[in-house]
Amino acid sequence: MKVKYFQRGFNYSQDGPGNRLVYHLQGCNMRCRWCANPESIPLNGIAPYKFEEINVEELLDEANRSLMMFFDGGGVTLTGGEPTVQFEAVRRWLSGLKEQNINTAMETNAAHPELPGLFPLIDHLIMDFKHHCDGKHLKYTGAHNDIIKRNIASALEMRKQTVIRIPLIAGVNTSRDDLRGFLDFFKDKDTSAVSFEFLRYHEYGKQKWERCGMEYQMRGAFVDDKTVSDYEKAFQLQSLKVIRT
């Protein structure tokens, strides 16, 4: 069984705790207009960017040979693209890592219907929540959010240690109504095992979109310090834990 990825390397504390071997997997089921890695969207790649294929057994061997590098609680992180696009390979990979007692983390858009089946294999779950409104989520990402909401609720019910990341994008999800919509979703849920992080919009992927021959559609989407602060304070007032990495 093989895995397609377009980037791998070590990173400290930003994709889970400690020093981690991070794999950016090829393929995504969404097409977020602000995506920083548009070259990762097609499972079979897009010119001029390239990806690599590697057997799960080789990945497990690489992790085993990297044990001395997993200091400060580190391990292996799967991100994307979207890891669950290669669901069965990822399941096998995570199972093998757990058999080797290697710490695992995964960053996901939470849209795969079978995602909760992977929860026991993931030590640090990082889930994106791009918009509380299904219509707007569909408009800006190309996907509905009903499964995402269900998977987030499942993680909370299981008291799974989770980070929920909300990208703040002006004109997309930063109005007062949007803030209230996010808070309303969590108000009746057990959030004791959850932390929230707000990611400020950036244009790191703009040149990649253009290099791939695709139009970059975002305009005027930067957010100011006050917007970020307003979201953080509003969540904290509802006893929701806010972090920054």
pLDDT at res. 13: 77
Mean pLDDT per block of 10 residues along the chain (245 residues) reads 96 90 98 96 96 97 96 96 98 98 98 97 97 97 98 94 96 97 96 96 95 94 97 97 93
User: Which of 89, 24, 26 lies closest to 55 in space, CA to CA?
Assistant: 89
Q: Which two tokens stand for residue 145?
A: 């959010």
Q: Which residues fall within 8 angstroms of residue 60, CB to CB, at 6 or more apart?
A: 93, 96, 97, 100
In this structure, what DSSP letter does residue 69 have?
G
Q: Which residues fall within 8 angstroms of residue 35, CB to CB, at 6 or more apart?
A: 28, 41, 205, 209
Give me the domains of the chain, ranges plus CATH numbers.
2-242 (3.20.20.70)
pLDDT at res. 67: 96
Question: Phi/psi of residue 5, each to 5°?
Answer: -140, 155
**Strand pairing class (194-200; 241-242):** parallel
pLDDT at res. 45: 96
pLDDT at res. 107: 98
Q: Which two tokens stand for residue 25?
A: 């997997």
Cβ distance 69 to 20 under 8 Å? no
Rounded-to-integer distance, Cα 123 and Cα 134, Å: 29
What digits encode the pLDDT tens for the residues 200-216?
999 999 999 999 999 99
H helix count then E strand count, the chain: 7, 9
Rounded-to-integer distance, Cα 43 and Cα 155, Å: 27
Name the amino acid, one letter, at 150: R
Q: Which residues fall within 8 angstroms of residue 176, CB to CB, at 6 or more apart?
A: none
What is the C-alpha radius of gyration for the chain, rounded to an integer number of angstroms?
Answer: 18
In this structure, what DSSP letter does residue 145 have?
S
Rounded-to-integer distance, Cα 23 and Cα 241, Å: 27
